[in-house]
Amino acid sequence: MIKRTGKIGIFDSGLGGLTILKEVVKLMPCYEYIYLGDNQNTPYGNKSQDKIFNLTLAGVEWLFRNGAEIVVLACNTASANALRKIQREVLPVRYPDKRVLGIIIPTVEEIEKYSKTGHIGILATKATIESRIYEAEMKKQNPHIKIFSQSGGNLANLIELNNKVEMLTEINSVVEELISKNNLIDTVVLGCTHYALIEEEIAQILPKHIHVVSQGELVAKKLKDYLTKHVEINIKLSNLFSLNFNTTSDSKHVQQLMTYFYGEKISISMVKI
């Protein structure tokens, strides 16, 4: 019998992917996980598409070298700007037996179930909004759904600073701008993984009838479905639970933030990619 040693890799440009990992682990606590946050090069949102691709690919290849059979890009910016090129140009040539998935398509496939009006708001980073990836993917999924996108401004930075006063001011501002775009919006998707940490604050400011949906739970469900359908990948994965956290930054502050984002004390290694 061949020993199953494969891991599920989670890649993020910063910290928010830890909110995705937490939900995946909660739903599937029977795998080995390896997490890599490229905190040295964060944020990706202000970089060119080529730069985002190169950094994301370097992270993915590091995870492959360290045992990952499948990698989830737990970052909307990386998913929007690097996923397709990795899937189409890199995997078939270099890693035909491995897989890389994003978090935008799984989100799009699920969010229409939450909306009765078919009018959905997206709150995300400037780079994700400008890519118009949610509009493009929803048009493929269901052209009758209308997407209204809004940048979250400085929210990601304020979450990391844990600046609650300025954060509430910014939430009020971006939420007001989003819902003013259309009065039929009944669902708001948090299209930045950082925003999962302020889901309650956003929900309290929004009108009561509007659903707030963060990505972690949606992505976890879709990943479980994917592994059920793709036995050729699942059969390679170890069924002994473990968690391995890595960052490209040697900053103690970053490691403290990783603990904050994951929600419990974790052991973290500094690596180079």
Q: Which two tokens stand for residue 242?
A: 């473990």
138, amino acid identity: M
Check if 30 is active-site: no
DSSP 21-48: HHHHHHH-TTSEEEEEE-TTT---TTS-
**Catalytic residue, candidates 8, 21, 75, 120:** 75
Token pair in block for residue 22 = 């937490």
- Which two tokens mark 248? 């490209």
Cα gap 39→107, rounded to integer Å: 24
> How many CA atoms within 13 Å lie on the side-chain side of 64?
16
If DSSP codes are grouped into helix, strand and coil, which group holds residue 97?
Answer: coil
Contact 110, 189 (CB under 8 A): no
Catalytic residue among 192, 219, 227, 257: 192
From residue 125, how far is each of 35, 133, 173, 187, 249 by CA, in Å? Answer: 22, 12, 15, 18, 22
Query: Are β-strands 119-124 and 242-247 bridged in parallel, bridged antiparallel, or unpaired?
Result: unpaired
**E strands, 53-161, where?**
68-73, 99-101, 119-124, 146-151
Catalytic annotation, residues: 75, 192
